[in-house]
Each structure stands twice: as structure tokens, then as C-alpha cells.
Amino acid sequence: MRLWLSKNSEVPIREQLTTQIMLGVISSDLKPGQRLPSTRELARRFQIHANTVSAAYGELEKRGWLESRKGSGVYVREFSKDRALDAGFELDQLISAFLQRARDGGYSLHAVQARIKRWLEFQPPDHFLVLEPDGDLREILVAEIEAATGFRVSGMSPEECAREGLPAGAAAVALYGQAERVRASLPADTNRLIVLHSRSVPESLAGAVRPSEDALIAVVSRWPEFLRWARTVLVAAGLDPTALNFRDARESGWQRGLTSSAFVITDALTARHLPKNCTPRVFHMISDASLDELRRFVKDFLTK
């Protein structure tokens, strides 16, 4: 079996080795029971550290692809018919067939990587990705965008994105206050970040009917900043602080007694988990203009 190893790639040598050996097994380039080159032999051939080869062999042995025979070497493991391989087996087969044709055609690893990267860049996004460092706020933003657009939404922190890279098919979005930090975490060739603006206080209160003086109002969220923000805004709007009942949805039993409130002020995520007889008033984090921009993005681009 021919191996490609690039020392200048962002993919670690060990990962290049493990992936290509797995593909070799799947494509039958490596037959069950076939002996692999020794760690020293591979290390000498590619001028890499023997520990790197040993680690790759060890990982594949743990995952059931290879087996070590004492005093003999490392061999491709025989697979029983009832033994399931790693998830993504069919996709691995397709990739293996493609790489085999590329090898037969004499294409270099660099050429293959460059063309794959180009084709991936041409693929239209298939979901929004919320990049936000605060995990609780991130979940709320995901819920709001899902409800507003009906499109698939996921989330991750900027640190995760910088470490793992932008997921395939992701259209990145971030709040205005985090835009600079998020841009720094994105790959240099990413040319689009949808910046979301937060909802203003007047926008949040627009259309709200002032409750009666004796009405008990519950404010519920799993995001502490939402509770602090709501207290400030509602008190500034003239509501009696003693009529406000604040609940942290991260605590057990937070739903008890909510049905006795005149209504419950909450976020888009927590609203899904309120008791059935509650009257929710959902205050959104994202401005109407930004939500409209996301809807247009779905209509004009994602659904083409």
C-alpha cells in the first residue's frame, strides 16, 4: 500500500497515518492478516519519529483495525461478519475509492487536498452556526434563530472554532459585541460572518401591556444575565420589585408555582419548558432587523 505523508500539512502525521491505513483496509489495499511495515521501517522511509508510527499503530489496535502479534509484528485484523466497523463506513468506502483513482492517475497529495478544499468552499451552507463564548446565551440564540427561520442551527464557542475549524456547511453568525473576537477565530479564508444586533429595550417593551399593580410576574431563564437585564428594565419601567419573582431555570424545582403568576417573562429556550398553563411573554435577544436578515439569507441563498 502506498502512503502519502505531508510534514507541512496542518493535519498531524499520526492522523494522516491512521486515516490512510483505515482506508487501506476498507478498500482492500490492505488484506486481513497482512503484515504492516515495522515502526522503524516506516519511520526511516518517511524520516519521521518512530514514536509517531508506534502511536498510530497503537490507536488503530485499540479501535480494532490492527492487531499486534508478540515477536512477529503488526497485522491487519481479521473482521468477523457480525462485527461493526467505525461509524461512517460507507463514506469511508467512497473516500477510499476516490483516493485510489487519484493515486492511479498520478495526482499528488497536495493537488488532491487543494481540489477538495476548493470544492468544499463551493458548497452552499446548510445550517447556521452561532459562535458565542457564553454557553447559556449560545443556546438561547440557537433557539431564537431556529424559531425565526425554521432552519437548522448549531452552536460552538470561538475557542472551539479556532481549535477545530469551521464545520462544513456552516454559515457563521455572532452578536455584534463578539464580532471581532469571532472573526479572529475563523479561518483566514472565511469571507462572511453574519453579525447580529441585540434587541433594544424600547423594542423589547413595544406592545407590552402594563400589568395591574397586584399582578405577580415571574421572570425565568437559565442565563443569569437575562435575569439581571430583566430586573433592571422592569424596575426602570416602573414595576414594583416586590411583584417580581425571579427563577433560575438551572436550579431544580424552578417550575413549581409558576402557574399562579399572571404571566411569565422568559427567553426563547426556557419558554419551551414552561408548564402548560403558564402565559409566557418571550423577550428575544436578537433584533427584528437581524432576524429578518437571517430569513432573507435562508430565502435568497440557502434554498436556491
Tens of pLDDT along 95-136?
777 877 887 888 887 888 888 877 766 567 889 999 999 999
Tens of pLDDT along 266-284?
999 999 999 988 988 888 8
Examine the domain organization and report whether 184 and 233 are in the same domain.
no
Residue 7 included in any domain: no
Tell me what pLDDT residue 93 has. 64
Q: How many domains does the chain have?
A: 3
Average pLDDT of the residues in 9-28: 81
- Contact (CB, 8 A) for 157 and 132: yes
Residue 56 included in any domain: yes
Q: What's the pTM value of the predicted model, to 2 decimals?
A: 0.58
Residue 147 structural domain? 124-199+292-302
* CATH for 296: 3.40.50
Examine the domain organization and report whether 41 and 89 are in the same domain.
yes
In angstroms, the CA 25 to CA 17 distance is 12
- Give the residue, 229 or 272, on which the prediction is more confident: 272
Examine the domain organization and report whether 217 and 181 are in the same domain.
no
Q: Among the residues of 123-223, which ranges form H helices?
A: 135-149, 158-164, 179-185, 201-205
Residue 159 included in any domain: yes
In angstroms, the CA 65 to CA 245 distance is 58
Q: Decide: helix, strand or coil at residue 246.
A: strand
Residue 227 in this model has a pLDDT that exceeds 60: yes
Residue 239 included in any domain: yes
Query: What pLDDT band is residue 83 in, cutting at 50, 70 and 90?
Result: very low
